[in-house]
Structure formats: structure tokens, C-alpha cells
């Protein structure tokens, strides 16, 4: 009994960040991230405030640009210069890729993860993404799980046009044609490489199915990459392109979300950080907008936001890393942060009752997909592939989307680009 109380006390101290000493010794952290949209910034503020409340000194290092491509360039430059930030937003296999470069160990946050028993708080899939040194030590902390394959829609626009949320790609195409004829932009899109890739992976999952996605996009099977199913995926991409407006090239994702909010456009295909924008504008699902997964056979493309902690010199920075990691995995933090961010908690024990219907649906679907083989990593958001292969696919997808390249040619180029990148 006494032992148990001591453990609870220790747990409370750790989660409050107090175990790392007095406020003045709580550490400093320069945090590199790309969370600059309204919803993203509101979510990040929860972490900044928590850090400050626990005595930490936060130095903000934002690099604007959805999807983080620009942030990754800045990060690379900093590391090459031998000056990594204390913590950086980074995801998936890139975490292990940096570890291979020898700039992450000796993994200061692993002691925090062990003391707080992160292995028991996370699914093994999420936990493994956070580990270095042959998946044996924590070197990154997860804050959420985003789902990629979503339709977001303006409810008033759909209602006014007698439309329901589409449950097949054909239904979507038919609805979009009707909207276009009525003078409404069917699909709000920003044609930046990562946004084209975001739409592409939802289409690949839906048109090709779970096994196809796994084979082509995760296992990089050449026949799947260049074969007839991939041709069909590109056919649907071409159809979607016809539903975007002239202003689409280069548009930021949150500007596209704004077009759905104000009814200029009907739909957006985007991860659920889009919901963070609706939430930030005080709009409610089911009342002002709809969320529904894009059509697939119970597939679920996941994207776990996490922060990596590089090898650091200086006690204050190391303390800052430990405090940040502990706060990020805090139970209440994971609730509040994700209410703003649009995602769901990475921790398995956070109650979902305060979350909205989109988040509840996401959590239920995630469990179902995990059991039935449809839980798959997002390539567009860096969860599936290392950077070279991710870049190879993204380049072809965006080139196809922004030209009149045929589907056959795109599939052929896709296989070749991946092969050349290996
Ligand atoms: C994703 C990231 C999300 C969101 C989005 C747009 O890669 O995981 O948290 O911020 O980019 O910037």
C-alpha cells in the first residue's frame, strides 16, 4: 500500500515536471516546429503555457509551411552546422534516420519515458516510432494521432444543393459535378507538393484498397507502383484536379479550409488539423460542417506528431528536454492539446468524452482498422518512408497533378523515381 502511494506520488511529481528541480532549474528549450496556422498555434500554446508554468524557458523557432517541408530544410541546416534545436517537430522513420547520423544519442529523455512507463501508455506501433538505438530507447515524444483520409464539407452548401456526404468516390464525383454546375468550387485545394500528396494517399487507399496501399506505398513494390491499379488512382487524381479552382496552385492548406468555412467551396480533403481551424473559428461538426472519412475499405491513414530530442550539451537544455518530454506525455495535456489540434491523443488512457463526433469516430475507426489490417502510415506526412523515397513519390504526384501527364505515364514514372531513389 505504502509502496503504491509512493509510486502515485512519484508519478504526480513527474507529470508536474517537479521532479526535475525547482522552477529556476527547470530548463530551457528552443523548439522548432511548423505550427503557425490559427488552430495549430492555439494547440501549441497549451504546451508553451505548460512549459512556462513548470519553470521552463521556451524559445520559439517556427518555420511556416504546412506539412513541414520547409521546417525540415531548416532543421537539416541547423544540424549540419552542429547546432540542433533542443526539440524539433519531426515524425516517422526520419527519427531513426537522424539517429543513424549519430546526432541523437545518448537519449536524455529515455529515463523520463522509463520512469513514466510510456511503454504501457502507448500502442507498440506508436511507441516504436518514438524509439532510437535499434528501437530500444525513447528519443522522441508523441503528442497526438492525426488521421489523413478525411472529407471536410460546408453543411449549408451541401444542404442547399441537396447533397449528402459521399460514401464512394463515384458519389463524390457526382456531387462535385453538381456543385460545379451550380457555380460552387467543389474541392478547396492548395496545390503544394505535400497537399497533392495528401490527397493522393487518400485516393490510393480508397481506389486501391488497404493491401494495395501497403504494397505500393509502404513496401514500395515495383509492380504495384507502376501497375494498372496505380493508373486508376491517377485517373481519380485527374478527375479531382478538375474540381479545384484556378487559384489552387501554391495556396496554403488553411486558406483552402477557410474557403470551405465561408462556403466558397464545398469540400476539402485534408488531415484533421483542418478541424483545428474550424474549432478555432468556433464552428461545430454536424452543425456548421461535416467530417467523414474518404471512401475506403475501413482504411485509416495515421500521422503521429512528435518531437525529437537531439544530443545536447548543457544541463539546462537537457533539463528542458526532460521537462518537455514529460509534459508532452501528460494525460491532461494530451486531452487539452488535442481538443484544439483536431487530432486524438496518442496516450491510450485519455477519456474521449469531451471530444467531438469527428474525434470519437477517429478513435473508434483507429481501433477497428488496427484489428482488421487497415491501419496504415501516411507517406505524405512522413510516417511510412524515409525522406528520399517520400520525396520521389511526392515529386511525381505533384508533377502529374499540375500538368496534363497521362495516368499511364505517371504510374511508370512513379515506379522509376522510387527505384532511382533507393
Ligand atoms: C502535418 C502535421 C500536422 C499539421 C499539418 C499541416 O504534417 O502532422 O500537425 O500541422 O502538417 O501543417
CA-nearest residue for atom 4, ligand 1, is 273
Residue 9 shares a structural domain with residue 130: yes
pLDDT at 26: 85
Residue 213 shares a structural domain with residue 255: yes
pLDDT above 70: residue 11: no
Q: Express as a percent the part of the chain with pLDDT over 70.
A: 94
**Last residue of a domain, which of 358, 375, 393?**
358
Q: What is the pLDDT of residues 141-181, one digit of tens each?
A: 999 999 999 999 999 999 999 999 999 999 999 999 999 99
pLDDT above 80: residue 9: no
Cα 4 to ligand 1 centroid, rounded to whole Å: 39
Residue 174 shares a structural domain with residue 241: yes
pLDDT at 25: 60
Residue 203 shares a structural domain with residue 276: yes
Cα 62 to ligand 1 centroid, rounded to whole Å: 13
Cα 199 to ligand 1 centroid, rounded to whole Å: 14
Residue the block writes with cell 488535442: 338
Residue 159 shares a structural domain with residue 287: yes
Q: How many structural domains are present in the chain?
A: 2
d(CA 238, CA 173): 11
For residue 34, which atom of ligand 1 is closest to its CA?
12
Residue 368 shares a structural domain with residue 245: yes
Q: CATH number for the domain including 231?
A: 3.40.190.10
**Last residue of a domain, which of 318, 338, 358?**
358
Residue 281 shares a structural domain with residue 155: yes
d(CA 165, CA 324): 40
* 3-class SS letters over 89-157: ECCCHHHHHHHHCCCCCCCCCHHHHHHCCHHHHCCHHHHHHCEECCCCEECEEECCEEECCEEEEEHHH
Quickly count: other Cβ atoms within 10 Å of residue 115's Cβ.
Answer: 15
Residues 411-421 have a mean pLDDT of 98
Q: What is the pLDDT of residues 193-208, one digit of tens each?
A: 999 999 999 999 999 9
For residue 37, which atom of ligand 1 is closest to its CA?
12
Residue 263 shares a structural domain with residue 336: no
CA-nearest residue for atom 10, ligand 1, is 35
DSSP lists the bridge partners of residue 57 as 28
Cα 19 to ligand 1 centroid, rounded to whole Å: 32
pLDDT at 94: 96
For residue 65, which atom of ligand 1 is closest to its CA?
12
Cα 68 to ligand 1 centroid, rounded to whole Å: 7
d(CA 71, CA 316): 24
pLDDT above 60: residue 350: yes
Cα 67 to ligand 1 centroid, rounded to whole Å: 5
CB 291 within 8 A of CB 360: no
Residues in the ligand 1 pocket, defined by CB under 6 Å: 34-35, 40, 66-68, 146, 253, 273, 303, 305, 381
Q: What is the pLDDT of residues 292-343, one digit of tens each?
A: 999 999 999 999 999 999 999 999 999 999 999 999 999 999 999 999 999 9
For residue 203, give its domain range.
148-302+361-421
39 versus 16: the higher-pLDDT residue is: 39
For residue 40, which atom of ligand 1 is closest to its CA?
10
Residue 259 shares a structural domain with residue 404: yes
* pTM for the whole structure: 0.94
- At 59, the pLDDT band (50, 70, 90 cuts) reads very high
Residues 17-28 have a mean pLDDT of 56
Residue 93 shares a structural domain with residue 210: no
For a mutational test of ligand 1's pocket, the pick from 41, 279, 305, i.e. the residue with the most ligand atoms closer than 8 A to its C-beta, is 305
pLDDT above 60: residue 14: no
Residue 317 shares a structural domain with residue 294: no
Residue 400 shares a structural domain with residue 265: yes
pLDDT above 70: residue 19: no
Q: What is the pLDDT of residues 363-390, one digit of tens each?
A: 999 999 999 999 999 999 999 999 999 9
For a mutational test of ligand 1's pocket, the pick from 65, 67, 152, i.e. the residue with the most ligand atoms closer than 8 A to its C-beta, is 67
Amino acid at each position: 500500500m505504502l509502496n503504491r502511494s509512493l509510486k502515485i506520488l512519484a508519478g504526480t511529481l513527474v507529470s508536474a515536471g517537479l521532479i526535475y528541480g525547482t522552477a529556476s532549474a527547470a530548463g530551457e528549450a528552443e523548439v522548432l516546429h511548423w505550427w503557425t496556422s490559427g488552430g495549430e498555434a492555439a494547440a501549441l500554446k497549451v504546451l508553451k503555457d505548460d512549459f512556462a508554468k513548470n519553470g521552463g524557458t521556451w524559445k520559439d523557432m517556427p518555420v511556416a509551411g504546412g506539412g513541414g517541408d520547409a521546417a525540415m530544410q531548416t532543421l537539416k541546416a541547423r544540424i549540419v552546422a552542429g547546432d540542433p534545436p533542443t526539440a524539433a517537430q519531426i515524425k516517422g522513420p526520419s527519427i531513426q534516420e537522424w539517429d543513424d547520423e549519430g546526432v541523437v544519442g545518448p537519449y536524455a529523455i529515455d529515463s523520463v519515458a522509463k520512469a513514466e512507463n510510456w511503454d504501457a501508455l502507448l500502442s507498440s506501433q506508436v511507441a516504436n516510432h518514438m524509439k532510437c538505438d535499434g528501437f530500444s530507447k525513447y528519443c522522441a515524444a508523441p503528442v497526438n494521432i492525426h488521421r489523413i483520409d478525411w472529407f471536410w464539407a460546408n453543411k449549408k452548401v451541401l444542404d442547399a444543393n441537396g447533397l449528402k456526404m459521399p460514401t464512394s468516390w463515384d458519389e463524390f464525383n457526382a456531387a462535385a459535378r453538381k456543385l460545379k454546375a451550380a457555380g460552387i468550387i467543389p474541392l478547396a485545394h492548395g496545390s503544394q507538393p505535400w497537399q497533392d500528396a495528401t490527397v493522393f494517399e487518400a485516393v490510393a487507399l480508397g481506389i486501391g484498397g488497404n493491401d494495395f496501399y501497403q504494397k505500393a506505398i509502404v513496401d514500395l513494390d515495383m509492380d504495384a507502383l507502376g501497375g494498372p491499379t496505380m493508373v486508376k488512382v491517377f485517373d481519380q487524381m485527374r478527375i479531382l484536379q478538375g474540381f479545384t479552382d484556378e487559384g489552387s496552385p501554391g495556396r496554403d492548406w488553411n486558406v483552402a479550409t477557410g474557403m470551405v468555412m465561408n462556403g466558397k467551396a464545398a469540400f476539402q480533403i485534408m488531415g484533421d488539423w483542418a478541424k483545428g481551424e474550424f474549432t478555432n473559428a468556433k464552428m461545430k461538426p454536424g452543425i456548421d460542417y461535416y467530417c467523414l472519412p474518404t471512401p475506403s475499405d475501413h482504411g485509416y491513414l495515421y500521422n503521429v506528431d512528435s518531437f525529437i530530442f537531439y544530443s545536447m550539451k548543457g544541463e539546462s537544455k537537457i533539463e528542458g528536454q526532460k521537462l518537455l518530454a514529460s509534459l508532452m506525455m501528460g494525460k491532461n495535456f494530451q486531452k487539452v492539446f488535442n481538443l484544439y489540434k483536431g487530432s486524438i491523443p496518442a496516450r491510450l488512457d485519455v477519456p474521449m468524452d469531451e471530444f467531438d463526433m469527428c474525434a470519437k469516430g477517429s478513435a473508434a475507426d483507429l481501433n477497428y482498422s488496427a484489428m482488421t489490417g487497415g491501419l496504415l502510415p501516411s507517406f505524405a506526412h512522413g510516417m511510412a518512408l524515409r525522406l528520399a523515397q517520400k520525396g520521389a513519390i511526392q515529386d511525381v504526384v505533384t508533377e502529374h497533378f499540375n500538368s496534363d501527364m497521362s495516368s499511364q505515364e505517371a504510374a511508370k514514372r512513379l515506379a522509376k523515381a522510387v527505384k532511382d531513389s533507393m
